[in-house]
Structure 1
Amino acid sequence: MDGKHGASRRQMLLGGLGGAAVVAGLARPSIASAAVTPAAVSPDPVRRAYAFLSAKFDEFGSGSDLRVPRSYTGGFFQTPTWDFVSSFAYDDALVIMAWLAGGDVRRATILGDTLLYAQEHDPIGDGRTRASYQPDSFTTLNGSLDIGSPAAFTGNQAWVGMAFAHLYARTRQKRFLEGALAEAEWIQDRTYDVVRAPYGYTGGRNAADEPNTFKATEHNIDVGAFFTMLASLTGRPVWRQRARVAFGFVEAMQDASDGHLWTGTDPDGVTTNTRPIPEDVQTWAYLATLDRRYSRSVDWTLANLAATDAGITGVSYSDADVSKVWLEGTAQTALALRARGSAKAARPLLAAIEKAQATTEHGDGRGIPAASSDGLDTGFGDLYHASLHTGATAWYLLAAKGWNPFRL
């Protein structure tokens, strides 16, 4: 199974189930420019989306204070009896990249330093970061952390590592490269599997610090992209060699008949998990490699995951439920289309996200909701809701800016 699907890079709440998906009731070894084909995008929705991220960032601190933004706002996550404030490391990595795409190096650096603080003050202290943190963790700076989900999924580590890599590439501040290398060594030491074919990287550690023995296509895309960045930044060929292992797993997960990618393997690390089929691995494989073979997976997404709900048309999370629109995945698809030179095809998807920004039930006219309406079933045992989401907002900004997070 994929690490995010049922236990993921953003998976959340007390059991370590991640931030992008919510339990009911409660990324080719070559470096190219991160910029892709330009497209005309109205600046107003972009400005409003950046204003949302800034407001979330300043909710628990100001100025140069170390802090993280809550991941979800409104609706399901804020009721008279419950205010869910957890901040997911995957979302935070995306926010850093969105700010770098928009030229806000100051905020990106502060958030990057916050994640470095979390890494350096982790109770285990082996280079990992956790799936989520509570924003008040960083107000006293006494060396302790309020960890929301203690899980350490492989994909999460790679996303935080990619954020550090982008920060180092932009600022040349060595601490960010050191943080990225610590994340990478953690991944290599604890998840590398060349015993059970198809070879690749396993799912990391769960909330009880037990090994996840499945291999996720998503995680291996993330690792391949991250290690490719490190090869470029350090000049060490070993990282490119390791990236090839991760991308080899991704290649093994592509179905020959129609080009889509499977989720990954079962816990035996061998048997392919074929249900459901998620969106993100389809578009991420292309974004991470720019390999034409994965253009077919982008086409599969458009043909099989199209969804319309609440006046919004985009793509859904997986083939398990196409009754609602997943805004984060819609932005990922738009960016993949732009990356392959189809700016015209991307424009309707961006317009749909902007419509959701303006009309969502729990909206503020600035943030992007996770789903077009409550109750989007991922097919992996969790639901998305129409609450505003920093991750979805950041993906929209990356798509609107044409900024590929998987490439330096």
Structure 2
Amino acid sequence: MGTAEDRHGAVSRRAFAAALAAGTATAMLGGCSPGAPGTGDDGVDEDEAVARAYTFLDRRVDEAAGGTRQGLPRSYTGGWMETHHSTVAFTYDVALTVIAYCARGADADLRRADALAGTLLALQDGDPAGDGRIRQSYASGRVTAADGLPAVAAADSFTGAQAWTGLALLHAHRATGRAAHRTGALRLAGWIQDHTASATGTPGYTGGLPASGPALTWKSTEHNIDVAAFFGRLADVTGDRAWADRSAVATGFLDALWDADGPAFWTGTGTDGATVNRSPVPEDPQSWSFLATGDARHAGSLDWALGHLAARDGGFAGVSVSDADTSKVWFEGTAHMAAALRRRDGDGDREEADRLLATLREAQAHAPNADGYGIVAASSDGLRTGEGDTLYASLHTGTTAWFALAARGADPFLLD
């Protein structure tokens, strides 16, 4: 397979069908940068748009948790996902929400970030495996009778979600000073190293553990980006050189999956850990690679994505999920690109990032199912990821958090 399964809220048809039978739509997923939003040139006040995005996140967090740790914000509201009973909190989206709160850093933001991080730590501590892992998603608004914590929705433990949760805990540690957040991040890192490090084929990190069945042996470029960043930040925080060395293994995998003729990153490897998976080619390795590493050798991946994944739909213009379907705009990926272009800051990058951010502000106001606060995942229903999954025009915490980060000039892969 070679890529993250059903990440970023893409809904697997067979997984979703099974979830519907249970009455819940489940799926599987994958200190803070300073900055402040500027003034948009599209007639929409960027400061106000960002403030509204945070209001959306506040509402989802408070709806689920009521200011306590016993709850995680549901990832989707409105549209197809609402109709089909999706009350799932994807761990990846929760992590992004924590990081977005740390990026703004107001007192109320840090209280919410600390509470969410506390819930993730409690879930880690209470997990029946007892080995430091976190699960792909949890039920929002429904807690277990035993401990009052969110019930598991999807029990898979894919590598990307572990790394993103670890990054979120490091951001929370930097923002609050709580040692428990760093300890939780170390446990997650240990789990990744113990269960996914692989020297077979191209050295790197494999996909993780599904809810049942054997460990995944394919390697995802996106997952290795996540691990490279997480382990690198962990080395910075702890001063332990071993994590820097392990980060370098993941970075070496990226080098091996780089196609200089593209120039772009291939998706990952097959189950042998060596055969390159060349289809579909997704957006997130192209933008996340530069956000995570700042490696000028690979900076052309941003231009590849802007050219090959350009998408227009319903008056919106941005990028799509992969080259498998560019008929609709993936707003989360559009925010990835805006953030990466701002970091690269080459000729024309600032202007292109501003154009993409203007698209996101327009989506906040006028996309299908828009509420003026959050941002929907896709410009219209039915965006295919190329992995058998689909995205919908439902309001999404992950997309909204990425918009807030990009507009603030914040990079979630960095602690400052």
Tell me the equivalent position of 2:21: none
Task: Tell me how many residue pairs correspond in the alignment.
Answer: 395
Q: Compared with structure 1, are the counterparts of its residues 345 and 11 closer, same or farther at alpha carbon in structure 2 (3 Å cutoff)?
A: closer
TM-score by length of 1: 0.92
Q: Deviations over 1:119-172 (max 9, x none)?
A: 111111110000000023547561665111000000100000000011111211
- CA distance in structure 1 between the partners assigned to 2:71 and 2:85 by the alignment: 18
Tell me the equivalent position of 1:115: 120
Q: Compared with structure 1, are the counterparts of its residues 15 and 328 closer, same or farther at alpha carbon in structure 2 (3 Å cutoff)?
A: same
Q: Compared with structure 1, are the counterparts of its residues 363 and 2 closer, same or farther at alpha carbon in structure 2 (3 Å cutoff)?
A: farther
- CA distance in structure 1 between the partners assigned to 2:9 and 2:379 by the alignment: 19
Match of 2:402 among 364, 370, 395: 395
For 1:161-310, what aligned pairs fall within 5 Å after superposition? 161-194=166-199, 196-208=200-212, 210-310=214-314
Match of 2:163 among 158, 165, 170: 158
Q: How far 1:65 sits from its partner (Å)?
A: 3.9
Query: 3-state SS of the aligned residue for 1:146?
Result: strand
Q: Compared with structure 1, are the counterparts of its residues 366 and 404 closer, same or farther at alpha carbon in structure 2 (3 Å cutoff)?
A: same
Q: How far 1:8 sits from its partner (Å)?
A: 4.2
Residue 87 of structure 1 contacts residue 134 of structure 1 at CA under 8 Å; is this kept in 2?
yes
For 1:8-407, what aligned pairs fall within 5 Å after superposition? 8=7, 34-35=33-34, 39-41=38-40, 42-79=46-83, 82-103=84-105, 104-138=109-143, 142=147, 145-194=150-199, 196-208=200-212, 210-341=214-345, 342-407=349-414
Question: Partner amino acid for 2:279?
Answer: R
Q: Deviations over 1:239-285 (max 9, x none)?
A: 00000000000111010212200000011111000001000000000
- CA distance in structure 1 between the partners assigned to 2:264 and 2:414 by the alignment: 22
- CA distance in structure 2 between the partners assigned to 1:182 and 1:199 by the alignment: 22
Q: Compared with structure 1, are the counterparts of its residues 209 and 37 closer, same or farther at alpha carbon in structure 2 (3 Å cutoff)?
A: farther
Q: Which 4+ runs in 1 deviate beyond 6 A?
A: 13-17
Residue 335 of structure 2 contacts residue 360 of structure 2 at CA under 8 Å; is this kept in 1?
yes
Q: Deviations over 1:345-365 (max 9, x none)?
A: 200100001111111221211
Q: Which runs of 5+ in 1 are unaligned?
A: none
Query: 3-state SS of the aligned residue for 1:402?
Result: coil
- CA distance in structure 1 between the partners assigned to 2:320 and 2:341 by the alignment: 16
Q: Flag the structure with higher strand content.
A: 2
Question: Partner amino acid for 2:77?
Answer: T
Q: Which runs of 5+ in 2 are unaligned?
A: 17-24, 41-45
Question: Partner amino acid for 1:400?
Answer: A
Q: How far 1:344 sits from its partner (Å)?
A: 2.1
Q: How far 1:95 sits from its partner (Å)?
A: 0.4
Q: How far 1:78 sits from its partner (Å)?
A: 1.8
Residue 32 of structure 2 contacts residue 175 of structure 2 at CA under 8 Å; is this kept in 1?
no
Q: How far 1:210 sits from its partner (Å)?
A: 2.7
Aligned Cα root-mean-square deviation (Å): 2.3
Residue 165 of structure 1 contacts residue 177 of structure 1 at CA under 8 Å; is this kept in 2?
yes
